[in-house]
């Protein structure tokens, strides 16, 4: 099928070629069906001749004396029909031949007075039309076709064959069009994967228009990937250059004898270091995304809660003791830490709740803080957004904590939703597909 359409044809040319091929197949099959229909017409002519022959045979048999009627019937036989005379009545008309009987009577109405009866004689795998016509004296003139019949209802056969041909042409055309448009589907899949997986150039195939689009996409993908790598290197260099003077400033601050001034300087240095770390994490200046592995998510949550408790923070874990799930451990751990730190910064108690359904895994991080205004629950997820009116003004960082969580959850094909608890506090809910 790949060679049915020349690769140099454009998209429109290929579609036209497929339509022409479908029309050619349809024309060929219609020619075959026309030939079959001609054969059916010939068979109707044979039936008409049978009716005419039967009228003549009845008339000659009635004019012959009874002892000579068997011999007369034999003389009336032809290469197409065998005739016989008998006083024995045949079986009633077969319901399957009712339509054929009606046509014979319509051709020769004189046979209506002869109680025409038709039935099928089956010999081996062949079927023959047989029957008899009553004579005025109560005897019967029997007949049977010499050649077997192929079908009892030619019209149904023609309709069935026409549907089969049309269905075959539709399947052939659909397969060819689907193959023509396959590079477009591959291009759409590659565009959807771009940014979430290692970029790979697409094979340039298909119509000329599609090949040009794929070529442009491969070049664009390479340029964007190079820009990302250059930005990552630049951010890593800037982060290193900024952290070096911060480290020197921290060491010099340790030598300040005035404790209040020393503490203020160290606090400013820590805030600047946190800003640099969050900025590098959001812009991808750190390690590339890790590969998902099967990890015990319950142990990760319980460990984070225990670590916070060891540092005097009130963090509780509620959920199963063990729950294995495939995810990126470091990325998910960073997302949970950001949410826990966010809850502890605006509240005093944080609860991690892990549950699951047959279709997804649900993580809820709840705090007892003041919450967020309902109209700001979506905007707070955007980078560099800080809601000082909703939370305390001593918030550290650049407002990238939740934006980093959104990015890390997106890597797991999950969603992050924020909502206010009825009793007060904020709930951050992560839903991951199983």
> According to the model, what pLDDT value does residue 322 have?
94
> According to the model, what pLDDT value does residue 42 have?
38
- Answer CATH for 293-433 from 3.30.565.10, 3.30.1360.20, 3.40.50.620, 3.30.750.24: 3.30.565.10
Q: Looking at 151-207, list the stretches that DSSP marks H as alpha helix, in order from N- to C-terminal side.
A: 154-193
* Contact (Cβ atoms closer than 8 angstroms) between residue 371 and residue 343: no
- In the structure encoding, which two tokens stand for residue 307, read together? 């670590």
Listed by start position, the domains of the chain span 11-156, 208-283, 293-433
3-state secondary structure of 271: helix
Q: Is the pLDDT of residue 132 over 50?
A: yes
Q: Which of 128, 32, 26 is nearest to 82 (CA)?
A: 128
> According to the model, what pLDDT value does residue 159 have?
61
221 sits in which H/E element: helix 208-254
Residues 289 and 284: their CA atoms lie apart, in Å, by 9
Contacts of 53 (CB under 8 A, 6+ apart): 76, 78, 81
CA distances from 243 to 182, 211, 253, 269 (A): 50, 47, 15, 10
Q: Strands 140-145 and 426-433: what pairing?
A: unpaired
Count CB-CB contacts under 10 A for residue 326: 13
What 8-state DSSP symbol labels residue 194? B
**What are the φ/ψ torsions at residue 352 (nearest 5 degrees)?**
-105, 120
> According to the model, what pLDDT value does residue 286 have?
45
Residues 318 and 301: their CA atoms lie apart, in Å, by 9
> According to the model, what pLDDT value does residue 350 have?
95
Rounded average pLDDT over 280-286: 59
* Contact (Cβ atoms closer than 8 angstroms) between residue 384 and residue 398: yes
The CB-based long-range contact list for 413-421 (8 Å cut-off, 24+ gap) reads: 416/381, 418/372, 418/377, 418/378, 418/380, 418/381, 419/377, 420/371, 420/372, 420/374, 420/377, 421/366, 421/371
Q: How many residues does the chain have?
A: 434
Residues 42 and 154: their CA atoms lie apart, in Å, by 12
Helices and strands per DSSP (H, E), number in the chain: 9, 11
Mean pLDDT of the chain: 78
Question: pLDDT above 70 covers what percent of the chain?
Answer: 78
Q: Which of 359, 344, 362, 342 is nearest to 405 (CA)?
A: 342
Confidence of residue 367 (pLDDT cuts 50, 70, 90): very high
Confidence of residue 393 (pLDDT cuts 50, 70, 90): very low
Question: What would the DSSP string read from start to end of 206-217?
Answer: SSHHHHHHHHHH
Q: Which of 369, 372, 368 is nearest to 381 (CA)?
A: 372
Please write the tens of the pLDDT for every residue from 205-263.
777 777 888 888 888 888 888 887 777 777 777 766 777 888 888 888 888 888 888 88
> According to the model, what pLDDT value does residue 316 have?
95
Enumerate the β-bridge partners of residue 36: none
- Class of the CATH domain delimited by 208-283: mainly alpha
**What are the φ/ψ torsions at residue 416 (nearest 5 degrees)?**
-115, 130
Enumerate the β-bridge partners of residue 415: 431
Residues 172 and 166: their CA atoms lie apart, in Å, by 10
Q: What is the largest CA-CA distance in the chain?
A: 151
Q: Is 124 left (phi over 0), alpha (psi -120 to 50) or beta?
A: left
Q: Which of 243, 240, 235 is nearest to 269 (CA)?
A: 243
What 8-state DSSP symbol labels residue 197? B
Q: Is the pLDDT of residue 376 over 50?
A: yes
Q: Is the pLDDT of residue 160 over 70?
A: no
3-state secondary structure of 47: helix
60-64, 120-124, 128-132 — which is least confidently predicted? Answer: 120-124
Could you give the dihedral angle defined by the CA atoms of residues 402, 408, 413 and 415, in that order, rounded to the nearest 10 degrees?
Answer: -10
Contacts of 19 (CB under 8 A, 6+ apart): 173
CA distances from 284 to 101, 175, 408, 413 (A): 87, 43, 11, 18
> According to the model, what pLDDT value does residue 52 have?
83
Please write the tens of the pLDDT for every residue from 6-60.
554 556 666 667 777 777 776 676 655 554 444 444 356 656 777 888 888 888 8
Contacts of 50 (CB under 8 A, 6+ apart): 80, 81, 104, 143, 145
């Amino acid at each position: 099928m790949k060679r049915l359409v020349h690769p140099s044809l454009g998209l429109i040319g290929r579609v036209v070629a497929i339509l022409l091929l479908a029309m050619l197949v349809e024309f060929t099959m219609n020619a075959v069906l026309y030939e079959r229909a001609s054969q059916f017409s010939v068979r109707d002519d044979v039936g008409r001749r049978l009716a005419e022959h039967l009228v003549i045979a009845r008339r000659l048999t009635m004019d012959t004396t009874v002892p000579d009627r068997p011999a007369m019937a034999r003389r009336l036989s032809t290469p197409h029909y065998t005739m016989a005379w008998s006083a024995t009545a045949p079986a009633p008309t077969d319901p399957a031949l009712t339509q054929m009987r009606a046509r014979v009577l319509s051709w020769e109405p004189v046979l209506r007075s002869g109680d025409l009866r038709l039935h099928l004689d089956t010999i081996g795998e062949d079927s023959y039309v047989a029957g008899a016509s009553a004579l005025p004296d109560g005897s019967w003139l029997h007949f049977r076709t010499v050649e077997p019949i192929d079908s009892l209802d030619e019209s149904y056969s023609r309709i069935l064959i026409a549907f089969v041909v049309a269905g075959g042409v539709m399947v052939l055309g659909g397969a060819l069009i689907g193959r023509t448009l396959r590079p477009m589907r591959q291009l759409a899949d590659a565009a959807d994967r771009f940014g979430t997986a290692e970029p790979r150039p697409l094979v340039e195939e298909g119509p000329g228009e599609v090949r040009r689009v794929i070529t442009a996409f491969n070049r664009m993908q390479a340029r964007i990937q190079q820009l990302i790598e250059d930005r990552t290197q630049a951010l890593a260099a800037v982060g290193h250059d900024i952290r070096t003077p911060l480290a020197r400033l921290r060491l010099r601050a340790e030598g300040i004898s005035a404790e209040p001034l020393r503490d203020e300087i160290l606090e400013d240095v820590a805030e600047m270091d946190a800003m640099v770390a969050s900025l590098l994490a959001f812009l991808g200046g750190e390690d590339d995304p890790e590969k998902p592995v099967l990890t015990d998510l319950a142990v990760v949550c319980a460990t984070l809660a225990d670590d916070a408790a060891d540092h005097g923070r009130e963090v509780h874990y509620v959920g199963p003791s063990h729950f294995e799930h495939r995810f990126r451990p470091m990325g998910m751990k960073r997302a949970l830490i950001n949410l826990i730190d966010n809850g502890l910064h605006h509240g005093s108690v944080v609860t991690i709740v892990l549950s699951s359904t047959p279709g997804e895994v649900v993580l809820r991080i709840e705090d007892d803080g003041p919450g967020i205004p309902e109209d700001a629950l979506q905007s707070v997820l955007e980078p560099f957004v800080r809601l000082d009116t909703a939370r305390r003004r001593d918030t550290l960082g650049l407002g990238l904590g939740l934006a980093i969580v959104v990015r890390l959850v997106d890597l797991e094909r999950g969603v992050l939703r924020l909502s206010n608890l009825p009793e007060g506090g904020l709930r951050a809910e992560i839903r991951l597909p199983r």
